[in-house]
Structure 1
Amino acid sequence: MHLDAHDPSHIRLAQVGDRFDPGTPGTLYFDANSIGPMPRMAPLKMQTVLQDGWAKARRRSWNELDWLEQPRTLGASMAHLIGAGSNDVRVTDTTSINQYKLLRYALSVAAPRRVIVLERHVFPSNRYVAEAIAREHLAELRFIDDASDLRAALAPQDVAVVALSHVDYRSSTRLDMAALNRCIREAGAMSLWDLSHSAGAVAIALVQSEADLAVGCGYKYLCGGPGAPAFLYIHPRWADAAWPAISGWMGHADTFAFEPNYRPGAGADRFLVGTPAVLANAAFSAAAELWREVDPLALDQRHRSLTDTLIQLFDEQCAAWPLHLSSPRSHAQRGGHVALQFDGAAALAQALVEQGVIVSSRKPDALRWGVHPLTTNHQQLWSAVQVLRQLLISGSWQDTRFERPMV
């Protein structure tokens, strides 16, 4: 309570945080890295679509309720959180689909270069997307084990695009975007960043660091709701450099001209494909209205205060057990969540959930604590670590009922 009361960033953000539903009473949520908290207005936003839009206005809603503009307005609302221009972000499709679109776009821009560099242990879906492109003989893949391997991977001067995760989904290690962008740019390649585990939690500077392309999901820290649309970003210098790999009527330069031949829309609009997911966008819009009021610097400062405190509590309260911090101690090198390495992480996570502390795990041994800078407070950190400590003391987490797999 003392830390919250004297945290300047908390004071600035508290009014926004109060506009989220607190969830089940007595439950402590540390799963923003899986699904963020629900804005209180989300149900009403969706109900408006159903009643005022679908039931009453019907087709008129595309214009009267601005359904067609949602990919642009939602993108503009959260662009400042990732250090992007308001016209350079679109909310659309899924992270994997956007990854595909931008990888293919980069290959077109950088031709005849055809090598995609990516991390060997990247989130599997990102690898699957790249492998699918390679199977179509449209690219070759080159893997790196660590960011320190990047310069060597770029040496042959045949790389079209380097696809990197800003934050590792297991350890929460955050890469130095500016330094790596310089390295990539010097080698004549393009950069594509996955911001899924950083957007809405920590500071990101896409334009300042001269990132070329980026994607990210909307349902984690951005609080867009279950299965929320993802987002994509393209630097203005590449906005009209090539045609999109997937051409659809929403990305046409004149959508309702119904021309027989495709003409790509300007800038990021060309990456829109089909009809917007109106209900999902309505839920996202509840969060977008809140993000317009959030200072990214205050958000980053709040996240640092919370996660630094959480690590300190782990050090002080759990030193007697083989819980090892796998996230970097420096906040500048850490993403949205804090990860502990523990043999039995999956079972311990389920035991914590049963006690009302909602965390997540990832194989083989990562226990992830996804704090949200708008809704988590320091008192909750203390309470959750005390529950963890009692489970470790009792050993009850080793009960066989915790052996079943959990998402």
Structure 2
Amino acid sequence: ETVEGLAALSGDRRFAFDSYRRFITMYSNVVLGLGHDDFEEVLDDHKDRLGVTVDTDLSAKDWEKVVADYKAVVERNLGHAFPQDPHDQLWGAVGAVFTSWMNDRAKFYRRMHDIPESWGTAVNIQSMVFGNMGETSATGVAFTRNPSTGESRLYGEFLINAQGEDVVAGIRTPQSLTRAGREEMGETALSMEEAMPVVFAEFVDVVGRLESHYRDMQDIEFTVEQGRLWMLQTRNGKRTAKSALKIAVELAAEGVISEEEAVSRVEPAALDQLLHPTLDPNAARSVVAAGLPASPGAATGKIVFDADEAERLAQLGEAVILVREETSPEDIHGMHAARGIVTARGGMTSHAAVVARGMGRPCVSGAGEIHIDDKAQTFTARGRTFKAGEIITIDGGKGEV
């Protein structure tokens, strides 16, 4: 009933069923405990059958069939139908957030950042805005300063006709926010500044006010729904040690913070990152894949495709490089254990890029030439195949493997 109502209200049946299939996937994962793999397999099968490569090419009828197959996945794995009552769905989601405080990745994150277990978590319930309501809608992630270099200019990515997880998970290749960023990256797709100039001007004004208010570089998520800008969240952004130093110095020079506060904002332990390994620029290198320079530094290690295996080998003293299609919060322990990270999908604001910068790990994201076969534990790039356990080197400053 709800999806039919959303279709009637919006006048866009494709949008309604696209939103419904996203909801089934996320709710099944977060609340019901199902993995993403079965749902991804269903979607990939539909795209292969239709001869398309991106989600936006699927029609309303296509999404209706995907939804039916997704519901079958839930019933097959759990022995009961996907819940239909909105109140049951809401309370299931609330309960899942509270329960998440004690899951393994949350406990690991707390240990890593010295967060007391006694704090607990809260639940925000807010109405949804949709970035996937057509070509006048969009979603994105922005930093008020460059989180890798500290440069004082707007930095980030967005996608037209998409929802937030598409940017963070690297489902599609995101576009730059600014024209300067697009030209710097050599992209042909229009930036937000060019594609949505009126909304972009409003966005620039808002993010400037947010940085002034919080007196620090901000990591911001936003959605544009049919030409109207919505700010979803803001927080102090994760950054490299080099970036932290530059941002602190410049905020002090701008009179935003005192020199004493600037000094206190740079963790002494983080200064070790300024001495991160680099590759000899004159040494011969055989580049097997290229992606985005998501987090600077160089690392060499054994190829690993699984976060648990990365942690296990690291505990044995092995240097490993975690290679994934994309990363998610479930991979946090493996990312922490690895010397470096490579993802086949995702942009400069993807989960892998943001977390790697915060950890000081070299990272190459969006290396689309890499094709991973999880079952065979191999990846193929430029006609060559590499197995788990083989040694590779990554240059996070150049985006090379």
Length-normalised TM-score, structure 1: 0.25
| Structure with more contact order per residue of length (Cα contacts < 8 Å, sep ≥ 6) | 1
More strand by share: 2
Length-normalised TM-score, structure 2: 0.26
